[in-house]
Structure 1
Amino acid sequence: MSATEQPVHDHSTAALDHGRRGSLGQIVSWCLWDFGSNAYNTVILSFVFSVYVTTAAAPDEQTGQQVFANMQTVAGIIVALLAPVIGVWADRVRRRRLMLSVSTLLVVASVSMCWFVLPYETHHGLKYLYLGAGLIALANMMQQVAEIFYNSMLVDISTPSNVGRISGAAWGLGYLGGVITLAATLALFVLDGGFLGVPEQDAMNYRAIAVFCAGWLLVMSVPVMIWGPPAPPAKGDARTLNVVSAYAQVFRHLRRKFRTSPQVLGFLVASAVYRDGLSAVFAFAGVIAATSYGMDTTEIIIFGLAANFAAALGAWVFGLVDDRVGPRFVILASLATMVVFGGLILAISATAMFWIGGLGISSLVGPVQSASRTLLTRVIEPGEENEMFGLYNTVGRAASWIAPGLIGIFTALLGTRLGLLGIVLTLLGGLILFWFVRIEGVTHNRSRVTSAA
């Protein structure tokens, strides 16, 4: 090796080759958390309760959407600032399962308190709009904090040969949970007055949906709170950190990664861009369906059911592909296909094309998210699980303005339907950035490392 050459770091077994693997009970309990938490993502944040807050609890839709967006922005900024510190602290004091439990219970509490969000029509004033938007934002913030600890557990329940299957199964179960809770919401509370017959006075049927989702999340989260894998014993100083020293440790870590593993940082940046596009897929699917294709509430929920089912199927199938050929192929092939589907929706204005392209895109969201998680799991150094997933979350939050900003620009210039171009360009940008990521033993030369192992 010449003096100018940099050593090539093989990351393929950084965090997974410890002989550790979870018991079946630990794996099932870990997957069940995803199964339960998607009730919040699907019903509360995406398709049902957020629509109630921004319309029924607001004096008008524009005010509702503005307040809701502002609350989500504030929550995102707070998470971006806290995520790396929380990760460093958790890696130091090794209280991962406890912190997952606490943050999950805070999500449950926030969602259940949405029962008190009354409609504007009978209770004039903006306080219930701010209450509803604030509770959803708080739940979203704590959900993302919980995901730091949840994702870091994957290292301790998987091996290099099954990490893709386990991650994909959890993503698939999450989308299946979204399908079940969305269908239950439609049948029990919305369609023809709801099977349970909850009164519609003061929107009790919609407010009861929040209580139902909170209960669902609580029940499905109990197993991982009890049987989830605890963090391995800390090496060295296990004292708590103050905020200043935590940020200092984060920056030292970034400098070290820049010197030793610049491609890992490249992956964090690339994934932040395309993950913002992935988030926009579900965040704006209902809005686009209503404004551009004239779908009513029931049709939007049915589309949401189909989209979540397609996403679940895709996550399971591509989890197997991930273990066989690696996360690079899954990410590149999925993003490229999503861009093609998006282009077809833009080119063909028929509602049938929206259904076909929309479900095609939805089926690939889970595979990209799951493969990104397994890729990061494969490069994490032992003892840095929470910190790295905290950085993963923070860098992602730093890019969270790209897709919404582009959607706003193209909507203003070209109309609501062509606002979708913002999502397509964000996914394309992430695809191009990820193409140049080269991590030895993970994205490249996997066969050589596998045979050596």
Structure 2
Amino acid sequence: MAVSKRRIWGWMSFDWASQPFYTLGLTFIFGPYFAVVATEYFLGTGLDERAADAQAQWVWSLGQTVAGLLIAFSAPFLGAFADNSGRKIPWIAFFSIVYVISTTLLWGLTPDGSALILMLVIFYVGFIAAESALNFVNAILPSLGTDEEVGRISGSGAAFGYWGGVTSLFIMLLLLAENDQGVTLLGNAPLFGLDPDLREGTRSVGPFIALWYVIFIIPFFLFVHDDPNAEKKSTRIGAVWGELVDTLKGVLDRKSLLNFLLGSMFYRDALNAVYAFGGVYAALVLDWQTIQIGVFGIIAAIAAAITTWLSGLADQRFGPKPVIRVAVWVLIAVSVTIVGMSRETLFGIPLAEGSQLPDIIFYICGMCIGGAGGAVYASSRSMMVRHTHPDRPTEAFGLFALTGKATAFLAPALITLFTWMTGSNQLGFLPVIFLFLLGLLLLRWVNKDGDRAEWSATSSQ
């Protein structure tokens, strides 16, 4: 059955509307700003600078760990419930409301860190809402085309989202986010009379993310609707739980799906760590300021938009598995560079004082992170479609979220442990490399065409 272009564009508008949370919030504006505020706060408690940096990174990773676990264990059940009810849109609307309220409240992170932990909690409530809504949105993907078309649609949607991230980042840097001199990238004070001394330009990132979402999510709700003819089953807790348990047991008998879920669990966990700690690394190790990190973000997001679109075309031609493998190898190279580089040395080789080489290399790393990360994201959900039963898409993507988040504590916890053991932000990043390699190893046993056709035929007999 042909799918209207309006429905496809409406579906892709979610990526455009929600991407600023990850681009501005998690990675390039709020995350680094939180790290700086947290470091200053911990310096005020008597810690030395290195210990304060490590403590700031530890607190940020703890928030990510807890949020990831909550998403992991709620997503499959919510997905099963939504499949049984035949309705996804009300869930997306609910999480959208939570998201908008949470991001608006991020204005409250003042430079003195007086509400540090409260703002951390609020940020990750918004993160939970964004990721939960995304699970339901991803579950709509199988209905938008054939397996081959889905790879292109997934890549195009992700690329569209990254352009949204680029656009929003441009606006923030040019008009709102101030540097240490109190001016934006244009050299002016932040708009609307916002006070640079109180970092009000940077703090406006939360309300800005909320407003952006409210405006650009409109096409999604206008053109994407639940199928009124979808089969409905009992939504009693016991019935939903029973179906979910049966599905979980069935995964053990599906070698390709099991290895894909486990492999993607590790490489997506590592990728999330790269996203979450890239800006923090730049702030704490390279001493970059907000605007410099923002420029880095623009380069990364543009690379992501272009490369993700191209990866969608490659996915359509070659399938998602080769795309994922190449992208993960690129991310491993980036991670090795992060571990081996500081302001003073590059893989143990001393650099001249004031050398710009670390900055240049990290800009290149940003392009690779954006491009490879976008390809992994788009092709992984394309691969999941190839393992998804047509009647249970939300439950399937709930399992995808479960494995994507069930070990969400692993990378942050290992980074926390290694940072604490070594007292180094760079060496603290070593576990990310191991997680990428483990994910690649498990991909060896994943069928490049998925197992949906085989499983559907078996289950119907």
User: TM-score, structure 1 length as denominator?
Assistant: 0.85
User: How far is the alpha carbon of 1:289 from its aligned partner?
Assistant: 1.8
Distance in 2 separating the partners of 1:295 and 1:371: 32
Structure 2 match to 1:404:
412
Contact 2:256 2:451 in 1 (8 A): no
Partner residue of 1:119 out of 104, 110, 116: 110
Q: Which amino acid aligns with 1:431?
A: L
The verdict on how the C-alpha distance between 1:360 and 1:45 changes in structure 2, with shifts beyond 3 A counting, is closer
User: How far is the alpha carbon of 1:118 from its aligned partner?
Assistant: 4.9
Q: Which amino acid aligns with 2:42?
A: D
Would you say 1:238 and 2:229 are equivalent positions? Answer: no
Q: Which amino acid aligns with 2:233?
A: A
Contact 2:152 2:316 in 1 (8 A): yes
Structure 1 match to 2:247:
253
Distance in 2 separating the partners of 1:96 and 1:327: 26
Q: What do residues 327-354 of structure 1 show as CA deviations (whole Å, max 9, x unaligned)?
A: 1111112212332344455556241333
5+ residue gaps, structure 1, are 1-18, 446-453
Q: Pick which of 64-73 and 219-228 moved more.
A: 64-73
Contact 1:328 1:443 in 2 (8 A): no
Partner residue of 1:438 out of 437, 441, 447: 447
Structure 2 match to 1:450:
none
Distance in 1 separating the partners of 2:361 and 2:291: 19
Structure 2 match to 1:14:
none
Contact 1:104 1:146 in 2 (8 A): yes
Q: Which amino acid aligns with 1:71?
A: G
Which SS does the other structure have where 2:246 is aligned? helix
Distance in 1 separating the partners of 2:111 and 2:278: 26
Structure 2 match to 1:138:
125
Structure 1 match to 2:66:
74
Structure 2 match to 1:37:
18
Runs of 4+ in 1 over 6 A off after TM superposition: none
Which SS does the other structure have where 2:269 is aligned? helix
Structure 2 match to 1:228:
224
Q: Which amino acid aligns with 1:271?
A: S
Distance in 2 separating the partners of 1:356 and 1:374: 27
Q: What do residues 174-227 of structure 1 show as CA deviations (whole Å, max 9, x unaligned)?
A: 111111111211111121422444233644323322111101011111111121
Would you say 1:178 and 2:174 are equivalent positions? Answer: no
Q: Which amino acid aligns with 2:273?
A: A
The verdict on how the C-alpha distance between 1:33 and 1:257 changes in structure 2, with shifts beyond 3 A counting, is same
Structure 1 match to 2:291:
298
User: How far is the alpha carbon of 1:263 from its aligned partner?
Assistant: 1.7
Which SS does the other structure have where 1:265 is aligned? helix
Which SS does the other structure have where 2:386 is aligned? helix
Distance in 2 separating the partners of 1:239 and 1:444: 24
Q: Pick which of 405-414 and 390-399 moved more.
A: 405-414
Give the root-mean-square deviation of aligned CA atoms. Answer: 2.6
Would you say 1:263 and 2:256 are equivalent positions? Answer: yes
Contact 1:176 1:309 in 2 (8 A): yes
Which SS does the other structure have where 1:293 is aligned? coil
Structure 2 match to 1:328:
321
Partner residue of 2:365 out of 353, 357, 361: 357
Distance in 2 separating the partners of 1:321 and 1:153: 22
Distance in 1 separating the partners of 2:148 and 2:320: 13
Which SS does the other structure have where 1:239 is aligned? coil
Q: Which amino acid aligns with 2:425?
A: T
Aligned residues between the structures = 418
Q: Which amino acid aligns with 1:239?
A: S
Which SS does the other structure have where 2:226 is aligned? coil
Structure 2 match to 1:200:
196
Would you say 1:28 and 2:32 are equivalent positions? Answer: no
Distance in 2 separating the partners of 1:318 and 1:269: 22
User: How far is the alpha carbon of 1:50 from its aligned partner?
Assistant: 3.3
Structure 1 match to 2:353:
none
Contact 1:407 1:419 in 2 (8 A): yes
User: How far is the alpha carbon of 1:43 from its aligned partner?
Assistant: 1.1
User: How far is the alpha carbon of 1:270 from its aligned partner?
Assistant: 0.6
Would you say 1:211 and 2:207 are equivalent positions? Answer: yes
Contact 1:153 1:229 in 2 (8 A): no
User: How far is the alpha carbon of 1:438 from its aligned partner?
Assistant: 2.6
Would you say 1:158 and 2:139 are equivalent positions? Answer: no
Contact 1:402 1:426 in 2 (8 A): no
Distance in 1 separating the partners of 2:378 and 2:396: 16
Q: Which amino acid aligns with 1:241?
A: R
User: How far is the alpha carbon of 1:420 from its aligned partner?
Assistant: 3.5
The verdict on how the C-alpha distance between 1:269 and 1:413 changes in structure 2, with shifts beyond 3 A counting, is same
User: How far is the alpha carbon of 1:69 from its aligned partner?
Assistant: 3.7
5+ residue gaps, structure 2, are 44-51, 178-183, 347-356, 454-461
Which SS does the other structure have where 1:59 is aligned? helix
User: How far is the alpha carbon of 1:307 from its aligned partner?
Assistant: 1.1
Identity over aligned pairs, percent: 30
Contact 2:61 2:413 in 1 (8 A): no
User: How far is the alpha carbon of 1:311 from its aligned partner?
Assistant: 1.2
Partner residue of 1:95 out of 87, 98, 102: 87
Distance in 2 separating the partners of 1:309 and 1:44: 17
Q: Pick which of 153-162 and 324-333 moved more.
A: 153-162
Distance in 2 separating the partners of 1:346 and 1:89: 43
Q: Which amino acid aligns with 1:238?
A: K
Which SS does the other structure have where 2:328 is aligned? helix
Contact 2:81 2:240 in 1 (8 A): yes
Distance in 2 separating the partners of 1:208 and 1:414: 33
Distance in 1 separating the partners of 2:376 and 2:63: 27
